[in-house]
């Protein structure tokens, strides 16, 4: 059912944007820089405000500041989880004559369709944070996502100490909508398989939905209440598992990702053993520099970023990618997230967590 629905969206994107794509090809020959233009030359579409608060708290303001500082006129929109809104935003931006689109759709098929129309209009596309396999974007900016999964598995084993044959429940992310989730899962298995460790129960949480994650974990826990650790793909899924563990008065190692306020609080309290910190400021910086270079008609190499080949097996092609390095965060390194400016001590050290912050040297 889901594949069918996405196919309809794909057709809708092509149909909706085709007219503006054809007409905007004339506009794309205007000024190479955004400083003297009254219309945007870079368009950014972010996916939602629900799967992560990063898009409103970090990505949008960081990207906007970077473009403003460079004198590049940009328009930044959030699709709020709606494929039709994403399509409409892309249609508007292409009709305005943007030279570059920086996109992070909630599902790959929508991204692929927008990329096809953008290409026909002469608009360069950068896949931001998540790659749209099978698409036509020439560039991709994200973190090394296989490394994320490796760090999660290594972190979990570190938290387990001398337990070399742990009983693990593995809750992967939304592999049905996000290739990053596929890479996280692959990276984690690289480490676990090398150690001969097979999770007792493993499931992919559809669409990264935390409510689904809660149900998935409750079912897994009922099946195996003797679980000794949980490899959770992000802090939201970790929180769903921790709720059940708390209800059963059980505290075991649980991984996460995104270094959220709740995730860090759980780490300080001992409910979660680690998370992955992906410094969004570095990702936004790399993406904005690449977009600015392309908008000015410059070669991508002039953006000052290290571009590496990233293979797209669905399209049998190679994408130029900027892959940044993630960081594993444990109780003794929560300070790193604060030092990076991603969160403040005041945001983390609230209520009952103040004592845990003090014990960890955070004030």
DSSP letters for 293-353 = HHHTT--GGGG----EEEEETTTTEEEEEEEEPPEEE-GGGHHHHHHTTSS-HHHHS-GGG
Report pTM.
Answer: 0.84
pLDDT of residue 89: 97
Percent of the residues in the chain that have a pLDDT greater than 70, as a whole number: 90
Report CA Rg, the chain.
21
Answer whether 284's CB lies under 8 Å from 62's CB.
yes
For residue 298, give both structure tokens.
């410059």
Of 1-10, 169-178, 340-349, the range with the lowest mean pLDDT is 1-10
CATH architecture label of 2-137+279-323: 3-Layer(aba) Sandwich (3.40)
Q: pLDDT tens digits for 311-332?
A: 999 999 999 999 999 999 999 9
- The two domains 2-137+279-323 and 145-278+330-359 share their CATH topology (first three levels equal): yes
pLDDT of residue 188: 98
Answer whether 307's CB lies under 8 Å from 259's CB.
no
What value, to the nearest 5°, has the Cα angle with vertex 214 and ends 211 and 218? 150
**Which band of pLDDT confidence, cut at 50, 70 and 90, is reported for residue 10?**
very low
Query: Does position 60 have pLDDT exceeding 50, yes or no?
Result: yes
Q: pLDDT tens digits for 250-290?
A: 999 999 999 999 999 999 999 999 999 999 999 999 999 99
d(C-alpha 123, C-alpha 137), whole Å: 10
Rounded to an integer, the average pLDDT of 93-121 is 96
User: Which regions of the chain does DSSP assign to beta strands (E)?
Assistant: 42-46, 74-78, 100-103, 124-128, 139-143, 168-172, 201-204, 229-232, 275-277, 308-312, 317-324, 327-329
| Domain ranges (residues) in the chain | 2-137+279-323, 145-278+330-359
Instruction: Give 243's Cβ-side CA count (13 Å radius).
Output: 15
Name the range with the highest mean pLDDT among 49-53, 75-79, 340-344. Answer: 75-79
Residue 103, classed as helix, strand or coil, is strand
Rounded to an integer, the average pLDDT of 145-166 is 97
- Biggest distance spanned by C-alpha atoms of the chain: 65
Instruction: Label residue 92 exposed, middle or buried (CB < 10 Å: 0-12, 13-18, 19+).
Output: middle
d(C-alpha 246, C-alpha 306), whole Å: 44
* 309-313: long-range pairs with CB below 8 Å, 24+: 310/131, 310/140, 312/131, 312/133, 312/134, 312/135, 313/133
Residue 230, classed as helix, strand or coil, is strand
3-state helix, strand, coil in the chain (%, to 5): 50, 15, 35
Instruction: Give the right CATH number for 145-278+330-359 from 3.40.50.2300, 3.40.50.300, 2.20.25.90, 3.40.50.970.
Output: 3.40.50.2300
* 141-144: long-range pairs with CB below 8 Å, 24+: 141/283, 141/286, 141/287, 141/290, 141/321, 141/322, 142/180, 142/283, 142/321, 142/322, 142/323, 142/324, 143/278, 143/283, 143/323, 143/324, 143/325, 143/326, 144/323, 144/324, 144/325, 144/326
**Which band of pLDDT confidence, cut at 50, 70 and 90, is reported for residue 54?**
confident
User: What are the φ/ψ torsions at residue 108 (nearest 5 degrees)?
Assistant: -65, -35
Answer whether 144's CB lies under 8 Å from 151's CB.
no
pLDDT of residue 98: 98
For residue 107, give both structure tokens.
């599902």
Query: Does position 336 have pLDDT exceeding 70, yes or no?
Result: yes
Query: Does position 244 have pLDDT exceeding 70, yes or no?
Result: yes
């Amino acid at each position: 059912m889901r594949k069918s629905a996405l196919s309809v969206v794909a057709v809708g994107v092509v149909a909706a944007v085709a007219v503006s794509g054809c007409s905007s090809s004339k506009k794309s020959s205007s000024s190479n820089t955004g400083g003297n233009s009254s219309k945007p030359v870079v368009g950014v579409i972010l996916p939602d405000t629900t799967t992560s608060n990063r898009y409103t708290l970090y990505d949008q303001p960081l990207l906007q500041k970077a473009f403003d500082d460079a004198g590049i006129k940009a328009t930044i929109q959030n699709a709020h989880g709606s494929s039709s809104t994403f399509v409409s935003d892309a249609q508007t931006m292409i009709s305005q004559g943007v030279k570059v689109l920086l996109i992070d759709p909630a599902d790959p098929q929508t991204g692929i369709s927008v990329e096809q129309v953008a290409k026909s209009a002469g608009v360069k596309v950068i896949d931001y944070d998540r790659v749209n396999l099978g698409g036509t974007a020439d560039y991709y900016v994200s973190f090394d996502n296989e490394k994320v999964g490796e760090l999660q598995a290594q972190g979990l084993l570190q938290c387990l100490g001398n337990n070399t044959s742990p009983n693990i429940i593995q809750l992967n992310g939304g592999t049905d909508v996000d290739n990053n989730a596929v890479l996280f899962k692959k990276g984690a298995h690289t480490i676990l398989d090398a150690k001969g460790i097979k999770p007792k129960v493993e499931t992919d949480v559809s669409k990264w939905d935390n409510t689904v994650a809660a149900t998935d974990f409750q079912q897994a826990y009922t099946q195996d209440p003797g679980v000794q650790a949980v490899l959770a793909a992000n802090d939201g899924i970790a929180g769903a598992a921790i709720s059940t563990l708390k209800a059963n008065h059980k505290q075991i190692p649980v991984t996460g990702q995104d270094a959220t306020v709740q995730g860090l609080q759980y780490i300080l309290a001992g409910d979660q053993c680690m998370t992955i910190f992906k410094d969004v400021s570095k990702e936004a910086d790399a993406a904005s520099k690449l977009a600015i270079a392309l908008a000015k008609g410059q070669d991508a190499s002039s953006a000052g970023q290290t571009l590496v080949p990233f293979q797209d097996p669905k399209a049998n092609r190679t994408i130029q990618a900027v892959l940044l390095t993630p960081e594993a965060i444990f109780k003794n390194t929560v300070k790193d997230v604060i030092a990076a400016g991603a969160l403040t001590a005041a945001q983390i050290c609230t209520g009952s967590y103040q004592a845990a912050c003090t014990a960890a040297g955070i004030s």
